[in-house]
Amino acid sequence: MLGKYATARFGIIMGMVVALCLVVALVCVFVLQPTEQSRNTTLDQGGQEFVEVEDSYNEPSKDATPNPYQPSGVNQGTVYWDQIENGYYELTAVPHRAEPNDSDLTSFVFAYWVCTMNGKQTKISGDETIRVKTYTTANAVTAREYIPVFIQETNNVGTATDYVHYVTNLQSLNDTYMSQNGAAGHIFILQNDITLTNFTPIGYSSTTAYTPFAGVLDGNGHTIESLTIQNGGQYVGIFCGLNGGVIKDLSIRSGTITCSNTNGSVGAFAGVMVNSLISRCVNHAAVIATGTGGVAAGFVGTVNLTEVTLAGALTSSLYKNENYGAIRGNSVGAIVFTNQTYLDSNTREETPAAYLIQNINQGSFQTNTATPA
């Protein structure tokens, strides 16, 4: 008899244990689950807070959007808009591709996006597809303001033109294209890993001011080994400077980049940057400023604003880059050192010269003055 009672009590206890486990599991699933972080916001306005308003969105058209760069004035592509959840849209840029029977065989390649917010224009990620959400600022921002840039690839008889270049080194940029307005409108797609020892920064001149790069350098996932730059120029990096330029998907695996000029500015990718984009790049090289008053940073020493106009200041963007290289000098920064700002006298809105978006630094500092940027 006692055995039956013991068995019954054991069954009751086990039932209670199972029920308790179920309650704990439900709590973990519905109460303690981590809050999902939004993966859709593509542009971070330097810490400025936005208030989301669901009714601020204007339904976008599926037609091609206006294009800021039109080398030939013909149709360059289409932008498709798909709602993926309430308030979030996915934008895909589809370049025009000529077919053999087309009367117009002109074809284009996708380059990058620009976004105009409150009259201020910024280049953003070079992905063909981005996700956007509208926000309310001084003026409502709609997805129409994200515009892809297409650059001509072939001419009207289907043969290659001078707009797209599949390169195996970077020297040709200096030798052939930089004299053509900083290679504006040209895309250079790297085809292999390269080694750059005793490298002269692209755009450097010993007799005149440097020429800033205004084209697109697509690293295509390739790497640079043993990058060595020891140059007396004022601005030092792979490029002396960027002005309207784009560098994307390129990694520096090793090397040392040094600027010895007084008040010089050095970064692994550029000494100075204006209205440009550096996207998904990695640096492992040491960046060193040895001159008096010099500044050093993992990616760009100095970021400047363009001339401020009534339409607002054009800004740069550094998007999803990673720095692991050591940075040495009197004044250093992780990603950039100098990041100018412009304060609108009417709205009191402050515009940074560069938006720093999801960048990572794990490099070390040796300096008297350091900034966390």
pLDDT at 61: 42
Separation between Cα atoms, residue 292 and residue 261, nearest integer Å: 7
Find the farthest-apart pair of alpha carbons in the chain and give their distance in angstroms, rounded. Answer: 107
pLDDT at 66: 44
Which residues are within 8 A (CB) of 195 and not within 5 positions of it... i.e. 6 or more apart? 224, 225, 226
Instruction: With CA atoms as reference, report the closest residue to 112 among 271, 249, 304.
Output: 249
Instruction: With CA atoms as reference, report the closest residue to 362 among 318, 324, 332.
Output: 324
pLDDT at 84: 74
pLDDT at 51: 28
Q: Are strands 129-133 and 120-124 parallel, antiparallel or unpaired?
A: unpaired
pLDDT at 310: 45
Which residues are within 8 A (CB) of 69 and not within 5 positions of it... i.e. 6 or more apart? 111, 149, 150, 151, 185
Q: What is the pLDDT of residues 350-360, one digit of tens each?
A: 778 888 888 99
Can you list the residues of the chain whose pLDDT is less than 70?
1-11, 17, 23-76, 86-87, 102-105, 116-120, 126, 133-145, 152-162, 232, 307-314, 344-349, 368-373
SS3 annotation, the chain: CHHHHHHHHHHHHHHHHHHHHHHHHHHHHHCCCCCCCCCCCCCCCCCCCCECCHHHCCCCCCCCCCCCCCCCCCCCEEEEEEEEECCEEEEEEEECCCCCCCCCCCEEEEEEEEEEECCEEEEECCCCEEEEECCECCCCCCHHHEEEEEEEEECCCCCECCCEEEECCCHHHHHHHCCCHHHCCCEEEECCCEECCCCCCECCCCCCCCCCECCEEECCCCEEECEEEEECCCEECCEEEEECCEEECCEECCEEEEECCCCCEEECCEEEEECCEEECCEECCEEEECCCCCEEECCEEEEECCCCECCECCEEEEECCEECCCEECCEEECCEEEECEEECCCCCCEEECEEEECCEECCCEECCEEECC
pLDDT at 197: 93
Under a CB-based contact definition with an 8 Å cutoff, are residues 142 and 60 in contact?
Answer: yes
Under a CB-based contact definition with an 8 Å cutoff, are residues 241 and 210 in contact?
Answer: yes
**pTM (predicted TM-score):** 0.74
pLDDT at 144: 54
**Cα–Cα–Cα angle for 306, 74, 187, nearest 5°?**
50
pLDDT at 342: 75
